Amino acid sequence: MKKPVSLQVGRLGMLTLPVCTCVYTGSARKHIEARIARHLRRKKTLRWHIDYLLVHPDIEVLEVLQFTAPECEVNQSVTGTVALKGFGSSDCTAGCVSHLKVLTDSP
Ligand SMILES: [Zn+2]
């Protein structure tokens, strides 16, 4: 986040973030490259929670990393705070509170 951001994430609620660095963890069973390319596009139909964040003009994607470990395992290894409960974790069964975390030592 280059500036503080406050935005409505569909029916989930308001996401308010300071200037910070966040980590979002997601998955795709197939066509991962296409999914990543979609995430990086600014213009798209808002479908997933992360879409609402990634179309915001004050958001910059710094890095995209791919893992073979399950997304929840990767998410739970990230040390950070939850900005909005349930963000990206609607179908999570591993107990993640959110798949978007604000890094503890950010920006
Ligand atoms: Zn999870």
Taking only the tens place, the pLDDT of each residue in 30-44 is 999 999 999 999 999
Neighbours of ion ligand 1 (CB under 5 A): 72, 92, 94, 96
At 29, the pLDDT band (50, 70, 90 cuts) reads confident
Taking only the tens place, the pLDDT of each residue in 73-99 is 999 999 999 999 999 999 899 999 999
Residues 12 and 49 sit within 8 Å (Cβ to Cβ): yes
Q: Compute CA distances 37 → 33, 50, 54, 64, 99, whole Å.
A: 6, 13, 12, 10, 19
CA of 52 to the centre of ligand 1 (A): 19
3-class DSSP assignment, residue 53: helix
What mean pLDDT value characterizes the chain?
94
| Reported pTM | 0.92
Residues facing residue 101 across a β-bridge? 23, 82
CA of 43 to the centre of ligand 1 (A): 27
CA of 78 to the centre of ligand 1 (A): 12
pLDDT value of position 106: 64
